[in-house]
């Protein structure tokens, strides 16, 4: 039976190729942490493999006895389909920042519990630990550590009415992707006035004081740092 190339199938194959390339790009450019949480990282290879498989199959089956033409409308639809993939590859990876803090719920109390049964009265203390204790209403467990020193990394936001030596240290926590991000926030006092602006990433070292349903950090050192390779915290 005579077969000829189907332009429609070839074009759809190209669209699949661009999408497959996006997922491979995300994996090999080490950008998965910008789009996926640790528990959903497996989606990136699954996307890359399934799209590649579909692409190969589409190309291999592009010769047909009844080849489909490719209309202008189909080309426009393809353009819509591939535009986001090209956009994501083209722009440098951006993360949620101070704008998102103003839009999202802040986890004074939230859903993430990092309680591993560890003794939190000693050792390193993380933002997730503080959040977990806050969540179960057990911040008082930190009372023995009041005045002890810990370090936290996050980005800066400022609120109206705060003193010049104060700011909020923020970090987003994600479950699947940044679409479900929840903000964890600490109040920092005693910081060098006017040195750090909105969205600057900093590492704060200072004495912690659990007060009410939050934690205040009296900073002894605030240093600028690069945005971490894994900018979001993961709930598991």
Partner 1 sequence: MAEAIVTIDRPPSHDPSESAGPATRKSPLWVVVGALAAVLLFYVTGSLTRAALSNFVVVFSSLLLQAVPLVMMGAFVAAIIGTFVPASAFARLSRLPEPLQIPAAGLAGFAFPVCECGSVPVARRLVARGVIPSAAVTFMLAAPILNPIVIVSTSIAYRGRDIFWPMVLGRTGLGFVAAMIVGWVVGERDREGFLRVVATDDLSACGCRDDHAGCDCGDGHDCSHHETEPRWKSFFNYFAGDFAFMGRFLIFGASVAAALQTLVPQSVLGSVANTPVVSLFTMMALAFALSLCSESDAFVAASFVQFGVGPQLAFLVFGPMMDAKLAFLYNATFSKGFLRTVIGVVTLVTLLGTLWIEVLVG
Beta carbon of residue 205, minimum distance to partner 1 (angstroms, whole number)? 28
- Any residues with CB less than 8 A from the CB of 31 and at least 6 apart, and which? 25, 93
Beta carbon of residue 214, minimum distance to partner 1 (angstroms, whole number)? 14
| Integer Cα distance of 9 and 88 in angstroms | 24
Q: Give yes or no for a contact between 216 and 208, defined as CB atoms under 8 angstroms apart.
A: yes
Q: Which of residues 33-72 bind partner 1 (CB under 8 A)?
A: 34-37, 40, 43-44, 46-47, 50-51, 53-55, 57-58, 60-61, 64-69, 71
Q: Which of residues 5-34 bind partner 1 (CB under 8 A)?
A: 8-9, 11-13, 15-16, 19, 22-23, 26, 34
| Integer Cα distance of 68 and 62 in angstroms | 10
Q: Give yes or no for a contact between 106 and 173, defined as CB atoms under 8 angstroms apart.
A: no
Beta carbon of residue 69, minimum distance to partner 1 (angstroms, whole number)? 6
Which is closer to partner 1, CB of 190 or CB of 196?
A: 196
91: contact with partner 1 by CB under 8 A: yes
| Integer Cα distance of 140 and 206 in angstroms | 19
What's the chain's length in residues? 236
Beta carbon of residue 221, minimum distance to partner 1 (angstroms, whole number)? 28
Which is closer to partner 1, CB of 131 or CB of 219?
A: 131
- Environment class of residue 35 by beta-carbon count within 10 Å: exposed (0-12), middle (13-18) or buried (19+)? buried
Q: Which of residues 148-167 bind partner 1 (CB under 8 A)?
A: none
Q: Which of residues 93-122 bind partner 1 (CB under 8 A)?
A: 94-100, 102-105, 107, 109-113, 115
């Amino acid at each position: 039976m005579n077969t000829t190339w189907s332009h429609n199938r070839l074009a759809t194959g190209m669209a699949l190729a661009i999408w497959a390339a996006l997922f491979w790009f995300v994996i090999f450019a080490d950008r998965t942490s910008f789009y996926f949480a640790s528990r959903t990282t497996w989606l990136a290879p699954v996307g890359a493999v399934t799209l590649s498989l579909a692409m190969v199959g589409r190309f291999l089956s592009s010769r047909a006895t009844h080849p489909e033409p490719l209309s202008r409308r189909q080309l426009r639809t393809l353009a819509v389909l591939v535009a986001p993939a090209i956009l994501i590859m083209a722009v440098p990876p951006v993360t949620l920042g101070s704008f998102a803090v103003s839009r999202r719920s802040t986890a004074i109390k939230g859903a993430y519990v990092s309680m591993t049964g560890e003794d939190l009265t000693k050792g390193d203390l993380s933002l997730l630990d503080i959040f977990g204790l806050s969540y179960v209403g057990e911040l008082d467990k930190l009372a023995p550590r009041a005045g002890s020193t810990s370090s936290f990394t996050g980005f800066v936001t400022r609120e109206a009415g705060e003193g010049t030596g104060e700011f909020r240290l923020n970090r987003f926590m994600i479950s699947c992707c940044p679409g479900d991000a929840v903000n964890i926030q600490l109040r920092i006092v005693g910081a060098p006035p006017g040195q750090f602006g909105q969205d600057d990433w900093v590492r704060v070292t200072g004495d912690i004081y659990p007060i009410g349903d939050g934690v205040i950090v009296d900073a002894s050192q605030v240093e600028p740092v690069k945005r971490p390779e894994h900018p979001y915290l993961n709930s598991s």
